[in-house]
Amino acid sequence: MGKPTGFLEHAREEAPRRAVAERVGDWDEVALHLSREALDRAAARCMNCGIPYCHAFGCPLANRVPDFNDLVWRGHWQRALEILEAANPLPEITGHVCPAPCEAACTLEIDHAAVSIREIELAVVERGWHMGWIRPRPARARTEKRVGIIGSGPAGLAAAQKLARVGHTVTVFERAKQPGGLLRYGIPDFKLPKWILDRRLDQMRAEGVHFETEVDAGTDVSTRHLRRTFDALVLATGARVPRDLEVPGRELGRIHFALDYLTQQNCHNAGEHVDPEHAITAEGKNVVVIGGGDTGADCVGTARRQGARSITQIEILPEPPAKRAPENPWPTWPRILRTSSSHEEGCERIWAVATKDFSGTSGGVEKLNCVRVEWSAPDEAGHRTFSEVPGSEFDLDAELVLLALGFVHAEHGALVHDLGLETDARGDLMAGEDGRTGTEKVFVAGDAASGASLVVRAISSGLRVACEVHMHLI
């Protein structure tokens, strides 16, 4: 243990952000980073606990957090990178967009501020790139086995890299113009600059991973051809079917799913063609975002940069507390109020509100009719119900409505149908813990099997399924 008293001597330091007035005028990254001295202090705060819940409970990848924290404090950055990469193939991605369940499980979180694990992780991997320590690691010998991976999001990329490094020939199919899945098209550039993703993709190409883009597997390439060509198939298609809001007036124009909106802006930033007739813009409009999660916050930041007149974000759940409630103890994920960089840029947030209907004209939506709701106390199973507050109806002006209500399950298209894959009651693709489906040599990884979840869980699933595919092939 590097500094036994570090957590007593140093308070947590948050990474700075660019000034609001500056950052809303561009799509560049919002976050700045801690100085080398601040990182040393942050790493010194790690207590090297006897039972590191950050590693064993918080992180789905089981990152050896105390080990790389201690190495950073001692100045052994290259060794810290080796420890980090042993568990996490995409630390620059998690360092940018993971909500850091490891920090929620940090022992200091009991009555102090957690160690800045995510910031340290990001600093380690960026130093690795800068120093040239991160290089392609192609397999020493190639097998004769071929693996097809459908989807190039975090699960697909993690599986592809692992399988290529043990010598298999890996082809990743992606129906979009560029690989990356939601990392490229769903997360705004101001949170995850795409050159960071491209840097890792270039490494994977040098390791032998082949990307086939603008190919809709199951349609452009038949499942019969895929099964004949590959010794194993991994479906890492994500949970892309959005949850809708079935209320009167839903058919009006200018009501869009959040992912369609975010994808279009990312395409525009990347120079990809966007049909002007179907362009979605917040410029000069009153915008209402329905849904209080991270995707909704991404819509807020995007609308602000597009020049929205006003932005309101509504959520049917009650406003979370500022601190953990007694029924939400450490080391569980804290259900507390979170303010993102997008909220800092200007947004009214309204909690415990339900949408009754939309109204407008042939030109599109113009108003939301809303009502305030009250939530019951949890029952013995922890479930709560809500009821409308009589006389609490109110209207919100809106010339653009964005539905950020989450996702329900994977798409059930030709690929799923032709492979004969089964789905569960929620619509997720059925697979065992090892990713195996009931169809020979077909595996499922990530959100397609689990439902929408965290990036870090998708990466973990991709790695786990890759191990099972390897065992199947050898």
Instruction: Give the model confidence (pLDDT) of 292-329 as tens digits.
Output: 999 999 999 999 999 999 999 999 999 999 999 988 99
pLDDT-based confidence at residue 436 (cuts at 50, 70, 90): very high
Where do runs of H (alpha helix) occur along 315-419? 341-344, 414-418
100 and 228 housed in the same domain: no
Residue 471 corresponds to which amino acid? Answer: M
Kindly state whether residue 1 falls inside one of the protein's structural domains.
Answer: no
Is the dihedral angle over the CA atoms 313, 319, 323, 324 positive or is it negative?
negative
Q: Are residues 252 and 397 in the same domain?
A: yes
Q: Does residue 383 contact residue 369 with C-beta atoms inside 8 Å?
A: no
Of 375, 405, 435, which closes a domain?
405
Domain with residue 75: its CATH number is 1.10.1060.10
* Nearest alpha-carbon partner for 104 in 435, 335, 399: 335
**H helices of 24-145, where?**
36-44, 53, 65-74, 77-87, 91-97, 101-104, 117-131
Cross-strand partners of 83: none
Total domains in the fold of the chain: 3
| Most distant CA atoms of the chain, gap in Å | 72
Domain shared by 213 and 272, yes or no: no
Given 405, 429, 453, the domain boundary residue is: 405
Residue 93 falls inside a structural domain: yes
**Pairing mode, if any, of strands 400-403 and 232-235?**
unpaired
Same domain, 358 and 324: yes
| Structure token digits, residue 397 | 């002006």
Q: Are residues 205 and 281 in the same domain?
A: no
Rounded to 5 degrees, φ, ψ at 447 are -65, -25
What confidence tens digit (pLDDT) does each residue in 146-163 have? 999 999 999 999 999 999
Strand partners, 173: 150, 212
Residues 440 and 395 occupy one common structural domain? no
Asked if 62 and 30 sit in the same domain, the reply is yes
Same domain, 263 and 386: yes
Q: Identify the pLDDT of residue 2.
A: 63
What 133-138 contacts at long range (C-beta under 8 Å, 24+ apart), as own/partner pairs, is 133/78, 133/81, 134/81, 134/85, 134/203, 135/203, 136/203, 136/206, 136/207, 137/165, 137/207, 138/164, 138/165, 138/206, 138/207, 138/208
Please report whether residue 33 resides in a domain: yes
> Do 273 and 373 share a structural domain?
yes
Say whether pLDDT at 1 is over 70.
no
pLDDT over 70, % of the chain = 100
- Nearest to residue 345, comparing CAs of 70, 11, 5, 27? 27
Return left, alpha or beta for 178; rule: phi > 0 is left, psi -120 to 50 is alpha, else beta: beta
Distance CA 292, CA 308 (A): 18
DSSP state of 334: P
Compute the CA torsion angle 212, 217, 461, 160 (nearest 10 deg).
-20
Q: What is the CA radius of gyration of the chain?
A: 23
Token pair 């950073």 in the structure block, residue: 72
CB 229 within 8 A of CB 424: no
Q: Is residue 137 part of a domain?
A: no
Domain, as residue range, for 85: 6-131
Q: If pLDDT is split at 50, 70 and 90, which confidence band does 379 have? A: confident
What are the beta bridge partners of residue 273? none
Instruction: Please give the distance of CA 220 from its chain centroid, rounded to a whole number.
Output: 28
Closest CA to 348 of 374, 322, 319, 385: 319
Average pLDDT of every residue of the chain: 96
Residue 140 lies in a domain: no
| CATH code for position 320 | 3.50.50.60
How far apart are alpha carbons 73 and 49 in whole angstroms?
Answer: 16
Are 366 and 359 spatial neighbours (Cβ–Cβ below 8 Å)? yes
For residue 138, tell me if it sits in a domain. no
233-253 pLDDT per residue, tens: 999 999 999 999 999 999 999
How does pLDDT run across 252-270, given as a tens digit for each residue? Answer: 999 999 999 999 999 999 9
> For 196-202, what is the mean pLDDT?
98
Q: Are residues 94 and 178 in the same domain?
A: no
Which pTM does this prediction carry? 0.96
* Residue 141 included in any domain: no
Do 312 and 414 reside in the same domain of the chain?
no
Q: Which of 379, 405, 431 is the last residue of a domain?
A: 405
pLDDT digit string (tens) for 50-81? 899 999 999 999 999 999 999 999 999 999 99
More confident residue, 433 or 366: 366
Domain check: are 213 and 351 in the same one? no
